[in-house]
């Protein structure tokens, strides 16, 4: 049976990582073209003694969304003998899943290409063009804000304790010179992530990264978070101790996904 940590990691993959595939499909011209005429449901399914878990990707001629759970009649299925093995494959480790749906071989090849494109989010991935650098930063911040909320909803004790003691607060992330922005809303133990700038109230914490290069310096761990603040890669508006605590949770999540 899967451990609580493995189930939480699976939740982060299916609820936070899978959805950012839409950004790749929208922002990467080659990937967008690949899937422009694809209609398919692609299931990821892990066996577990407490009941199989998973999610499926829905492609509909350029449209994309993620459904949680088990699809009744998927076109392609990636199956795993355990939750851990599914997590390992999604983290980029050498795991070979069971695959059904080879009659849709062309779609399968495209899905593998999409999965490989997620490697741009890996901590050691260093894109060398501005388009790819921008994509990495956008994916990272969209994913991490969603993952923070799912980390809380998934019941991590420290995160739950942290959110429970807070009133209605907005943790905002922006990147200067771009439209990249995402936020986490926390209120009395509940959490919700969103994209863009939250406009209904002033943020409790605003982490303002100074351009794509400044964001990458912190994301790639070329500088530690506190050092990044000192060197001007990121400016913190609000209580710095809460920004540091949020960054600690970000690092925990990154460790679970790699």
Give pLDDT tens digits for 190-243: 999 999 999 999 999 999 999 999 999 999 989 988 899 999 999 999 988 898
Element (H, E) at 214: helix 211-219
Cβ atoms of 189 and 151 within 8 Å: the answer is no
CATH number of the domain located at residue range(s) 130-256 in this protein: 3.30.1050.10
191 in Cβ contact with 148 (< 8 Å): yes
First to last CA, the chain: 21
pLDDT at 113 over 90: yes
d(CA 57, CA 99): 15
What letter does residue 188 receive in the DSSP assignment? T
Q: Which residues pair with 79 in a beta bridge?
A: 45, 98
Res 36: pLDDT: 95
For residues 170-181, give the mean pLDDT.
Answer: 97
Measure Cα distances from 144 to 7, 119, 228, 253 in Å: 18, 15, 18, 8
Q: Provide CATH 3.30.1050.10 ranges for the chain.
A: 4-121, 130-256
Topology of domain 4-121 in CATH is Nonspecific Lipid-transfer Protein; Chain A (3.30.1050)
Query: Cβ distance 121 to 143 under 8 Å?
Result: yes
């Amino acid at each position: 049976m899967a451990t609580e940590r493995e189930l939480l990691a699976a939740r982060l993959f299916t609820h936070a990582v899978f959805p950012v595939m839409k950004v790749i499909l929208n922002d990467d011209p080659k990937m967008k073209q690949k899937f422009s005429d694809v209609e398919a449901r692609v299931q990821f399914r892990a066996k577990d003694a407490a009941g199989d878990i998973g999610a499926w990707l829905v492609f509909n001629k350029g449209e994309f969304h993620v459904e949680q759970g088990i699809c009744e009649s998927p076109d392609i299925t990636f199956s795993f003998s355990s939750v851990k093995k599914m997590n390992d494959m999604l983290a980029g480790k050498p795991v070979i899943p069971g695959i059904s749906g080879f009659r849709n071989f062309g779609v399968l090849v495209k899905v593998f290409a999409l999965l490989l494109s997620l490697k741009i989010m890996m901590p050691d991935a260093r894109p060398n063009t501005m388009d790819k650098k921008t994509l990495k930063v956008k994916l990272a911040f969209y994913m991490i804000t969603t993952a923070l909320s799912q980390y809380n909803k998934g019941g991590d004790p420290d995160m739950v304790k942290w959110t429970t003691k807070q009133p209605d607060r907005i943790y905002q992330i922006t990147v200067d010179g771009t439209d990249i922005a995402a936020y986490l809303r926390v209120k009395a133990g509940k959490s919700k992530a969103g994209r863009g700038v939250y406009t209904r109230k002033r943020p409790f914490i605003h982490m303002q990264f100074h351009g794509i290069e400044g964001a990458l310096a912190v994301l790639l761990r070329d500088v530690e978070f506190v050092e990044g603040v000192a060197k001007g890669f990121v400016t913190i508006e609000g209580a710095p101790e809460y920004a540091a605590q949020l960054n600690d949770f970000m690092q925990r999540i990154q460790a679970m996904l790699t």
